């Protein structure tokens, strides 16, 4: 079945990046962008495509899909808003990504160029796997997780919902990263990371508690 036209939620630079990724996917058409914070951002098109205020989008719910191009894991607020209005999430998977046929991608996934996902891995809803990210075999990536460029999550790991794995970070095999935790850029996770903490360094250590993603 051909994909429905795609709305990209977000109007900042990462939304432009996602539109560029989508342009490389055969049969995928970006119809426009959606804004939910600043109505002034709807005044000018982006890449020649209209920007629609979120409250004006319901008439498009039956004919369009969406992905959320907010780099923050707090994009769950935007995805919930769109789904409450009847929209179904689509997906953007760049042709230069390699995803095992034995693995699954949840609705709303954005999978950039150079990403590799190993066998028997589950990638949740509205996950962003950014440029060159590696995800090993038998791993679970929870909903609304962000894995930034060059990060490497090894095999048999578990990354909880809303976690944020920074650029170039490494999570060694059989480790867990708790929900809404932040793994700083370049950190090396050698022990399980509890929920809602920030870790940095080599090896990664907790530097902040009671965080809520990023």
Looking up residue 47, the CATH number of its domain turns out to be: 3.40.50.20
What mean pLDDT, rounded, does the chain reach?
96
User: Do 101 and 143 belong together in one domain?
Assistant: yes
Q: Do residues 132 and 199 both lie within one domain? A: yes
Tell which of 90, 121, 148 closes a domain. 90
Last residue of a domain, one of 90, 122, 149: 90
pLDDT of residue 146: 97
Confidence check: pLDDT of 49 > 80? yes
Same domain, 109 and 70: no
Residues written for the chain: 214
Q: Is residue 138 assigned to a domain?
A: yes
74 and 148 inside one domain: no
Q: Do 128 and 84 share a structural domain?
A: no
- Are residue 39 and residue 106 in the same domain, yes or no? no
Secondary structure of 98-117 in HEC code, one letter for each residue: EECCCCEECCCCEECCCCEE
Determine the Cα–Cα distance for residues 131 and 88; give it in Å rounded to an integer: 25
Strand partners, 37: none
Asked if residue 78 and residue 66 are part of one domain, the reply reads yes
Is the same domain home to 83 and 124?
A: no
Phi and psi at 23, nearest 5°, equal: -65, -20
Position 213 in a domain: no
Same domain, 97 and 200: yes
Domain of residue 150, CATH code: 2.160.10.10
> What share of the chain has pLDDT > 90, as a percent?
94
Q: How far apart are CA 129 and CA 126, in angstroms?
A: 10
pLDDT digits (tens, 9 = 90+) for 88-115: 999 999 999 999 999 999 999 999 999 9
Domain stops at, among 35, 62, 90? 90
What is the C-alpha separation between 177 and 92, in angstroms, rounded? 25
pLDDT of residue 212: 73
**Residue span of the structural domain in which 105 resides:** 93-204
Establish if 50 belongs to a structural domain. yes
| Tokens encoding 76 | 């769950």
Residue 98 and residue 80 share a domain = no
Quick check: pTM over 0.85? yes
For residue 40, give the 3-state DSSP assignment: helix
Residues 97 and 151 in one domain: yes
State residue 213's pLDDT score. Answer: 61
pLDDT higher than 80, residue 3: no
Task: Please count the structural domains in the chain.
Answer: 2
Q: Is the pLDDT of residue 79 over 90?
A: yes
Q: Give the pLDDT confidence of 103-146 residue by residue, as tens digits.
A: 999 999 999 999 999 999 999 999 999 999 999 999 999 999 99
């Amino acid at each position: 079945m051909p994909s429905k036209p795609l709305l990209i939620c977000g109007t900042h630079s990462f939304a432009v990046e996602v539109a560029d990724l989508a342009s490389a996917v055969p049969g995928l058409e970006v119809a426009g962008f959606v804004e939910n914070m600043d109505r002034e951002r709807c005044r000018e098109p982006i890449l020649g495509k209209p920007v629609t205020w979120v409250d004006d989008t319901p008439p498009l719910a039956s004919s369009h899909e969406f992905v959320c191009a907010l780099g923050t894991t707090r994009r769950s607020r935007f995805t919930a808003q769109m789904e409450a209005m009847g929209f179904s999430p689509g997906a953007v998977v760049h042709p230069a990504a390699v995803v095992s046929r034995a693995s699954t991608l949840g609705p709303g996934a954005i999978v950039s160029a150079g990403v590799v996902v190993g066998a028997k891995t589950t990638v949740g809803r509205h996950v962003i796997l950014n440029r060159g990210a590696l995800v090993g075999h038998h791993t679970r990536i929870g909903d609304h997780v962000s894995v930034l460029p060059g990060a490497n999550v090894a095999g048999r790991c578990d990354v909880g919902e809303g976690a944020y794995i920074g650029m170039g970070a490494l999570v060694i095999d059989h480790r867990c990263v708790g929900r809404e935790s932040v793994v700083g850029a370049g950190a090396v996770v050698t022990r399980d990371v509890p929920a809602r903490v920030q870790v940095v360094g080599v090896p990664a250590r907790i530097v902040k508690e009671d965080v809520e993603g990023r």
